[in-house]
A and B are shown apart, each in its own frame.
Chain A
Amino acid sequence: MPPVTTPHDLLVLHGLRVVGFCGIERLAEATGLNHDDVESELIDLAVAGLVTRTPGPFGGWGPTEAGRISDAERVGAELDRTGARDLAVRTHEAFEELNPEALDLCGAWQLRPLDGVVTANDHTDPAYDARVLAAFADLERRRDGVCADLALALPRFGRYRVRLAGALERAHAGELDQVADATDSFHTVWSQLHEDLLATLGITR
């Protein structure tokens, strides 16, 4: 089967479904589209009643109920067009095996035992941080192996490699919030991939 490239409007709608609720910048980061393209797709989707914008300090864009239904139908149909449903099921199963380890590692980045007491990791021990980051890199290599075939069939899944590797590179370069804090951190992107696999397969938590 040739790869199926997701159209921009579905990339934005599905991005919003997976990220949940956010502004244009975050959606651009998640989809790899530029700011103006995201904005123009959002406006069209809003006219169609599929997304809506909430004003206010915690405001942003989110899918409507109709948008969630439309997204589920379209990503399901797209998956069947690729003939990769079985592959996606296997990928999801393998990902679920890796998932607890990702959460363990985020925990180890935030907390560490000191004199037997679990304390906040204050990032003053470069050797410890390097050990955790090396474990993240090893996990990401295995995650990439698990998801590689699916990314060939459905290139939108390839975006996660760029985002996860990017977060780890920035963390290595000293941006400590790129592991578990920032909206484009490893933890955030990993959780979105998890949600994406569930949404793509139509699995509710």
Chain B
Amino acid sequence: MSPKARWTRPLTADETGTPDLLGAKAHGLVGLIRLALPVPAAFVVTTEACRAFLDSGVFPVGLDAELDVALARLESVTGRTFGAPDAGPGPDRRLTVSVRSGASVSMPGMMDTVLGLGTGPDPGQEVRAAIRSVFASWHTPRARTYRTLHGIPHDLGTAVVVQTMVDGDRDEHSGAGVTFGRDPNSGAPGPYGEVLFGSRGDAVVSGGSRTRPLGDLAHREPGVWADLTRALTLVEKDLRDACYVEFTFESGRLWLLQARPGRFTGAAAVRVAVDLVDEGTSTRREALLRVAPAHLERVRTPRVVLAPGVEPLARGIGAVPGVVTGRAATTCAAAVRMAAQGPVVLVRPETSPMDMSGLAAAAGVVTERGGPASHAAVVARSLGRPAVVGVGAHTLTDGDVVTVDGTAGLVVAGRSEVTTRTAIPHLNRLLVWADEVSGEGPDLSEVERLRAAQRVLDRHRP
């Protein structure tokens, strides 16, 4: 890349741009590259370029030429070519790229992503059109509303990551997945995630497919598994926090596509903060500052205890916390009818106003499609019903007794064991550390003990 490049940066270990300039996604990828972890070759179009585009409606002077250089560099470092014939088995000669938004602040799902570009007669124009569409998606009314609500300035703009595609659907030794370095529900050590063999990453994230527990990777692709667990350890030590990683493997070779802190809550946040101190990854001071008082109020939310070796019937997004056991009802008429004989869990593809009678009659809610802002989630929350959304395909039928965990996003067969004490030993140790810092003691509430320590630590910031 020419040293005169102003609007684009190749993602390399010596890139020193801030998240404000590169966006959080590209900045995170640079961190992975510094750890010598495998990241598909990529460059970023900076937030400055986006701001210039949003001001004028056209690419800033010089960006066009820089894109030619950056795309040529992708071809040379990968040894692949845009438009080359797909050779079938063996090393892939054809280069395709993804174009993804990546602002400095998290705006999940608000902006565009375009995958698999570069197959047409003019790959350069395809990529440029995609970059324009990602830039323009900064100003969709939905994104504007999101920023207004969350106090994010409207003039930040988004960076755009242009990255070599790796093919999770290439052969039987390919696939994609997402994983946390630890269990995001309990904070327990060990990778926790899901994998989809023979599929691209977008199929995993969309939630419509039948993913497998991450452990399957250990049996089917032991080499990928070994590289992935090693990577998770490195990323965690680097972030000094539990991590979340998106990955693809192509013909038995692992690639990392994104890494960020795990953002655990409640019991999991408390346990990880304490465990990281025990493992020597962080200090007690960091642990006390890391746990927000709001986490303590969630430490005792009821949770399902999965017996060893038991797989849940379905896994989705926990939309409304709490645990409930009841008989599954797959129609609202059945829910209304069955509710007279005991608690019912309404199981629907998604919900609409037509389902209000069923939602009102049900003690818990499960949907196949939709996310935390779906109709089902909004209604279940307002009714205080534990809910799991986006579980995908499942085998539940009317009358099945199931337990729903609306924190973990689990649907389990039968009546599960439930605990409110997942992290109590860890919590007690954290509070002893807090008292040592503040000189307070158990006569205060747990939240007040933590706050007292945080006040002292805030006064003595190094």
Contact = CB atoms under 8 A, between A and B. Distances in A.
Contact of B375 (A19, A119, A191): A191
Contacts of A54: 336
A195 B353 contact: yes
A21 B357 CA distance: 6
Nearest to A20: B354
Nearest to A103: B373
B145 A101 contact: yes
Interface residues of A, number: 47
A103 B339 CA distance: 28
Contacts of B373: 100, 103-104, 106-107
Interface stretch (A73-81, A83-91, A108-116, A157-165): A108-116
B401 interface: no
| Most chain B CB inside 10 Å of its own CB: which residue of A20, A180, A188 | A20
B360 A135 contact: no
A117 B294 contact: yes
A156 B116 CA distance: 45
A119 B146 CA distance: 17
B444 interface: no
B292 A117 contact: yes
Nearest to B265: A117
Contacts of A142: 141
A118 B265 contact: yes
A20 B375 CA distance: 15
B364 to A, nearest CB: 16
A111 B375 contact: no
Contacts of A22: 356-357
A205 B350 contact: yes
Contacts of B352: 20, 191, 194-195, 205
Given A107-B378, A116-B292, A205-B352, A132 B265 contact: no
Interface in B329-356: 332, 336, 339-340, 349-350, 352-356
B382 interface: yes
Please give me the 10 A-B residue pairs with the lowest Cβ-Cβ distance, nearest first.
A115-B292, A20-B354, A117-B294, A107-B373, A21-B357, A181-B382, A103-B373, A191-B353, A101-B142, A106-B378
28 contacts: A20-B353, A20-B355, A21-B356, A58-B357, A60-B357, A101-B145, A103-B373, A103-B374, A104-B142, A104-B149, A105-B145, A107-B373, A107-B377, A107-B378, A108-B149, A110-B382, A115-B292, A116-B292, A117-B269, A118-B265, A119-B297, A131-B148, A142-B141, A188-B356, A194-B353, A205-B349, A205-B350, A205-B352
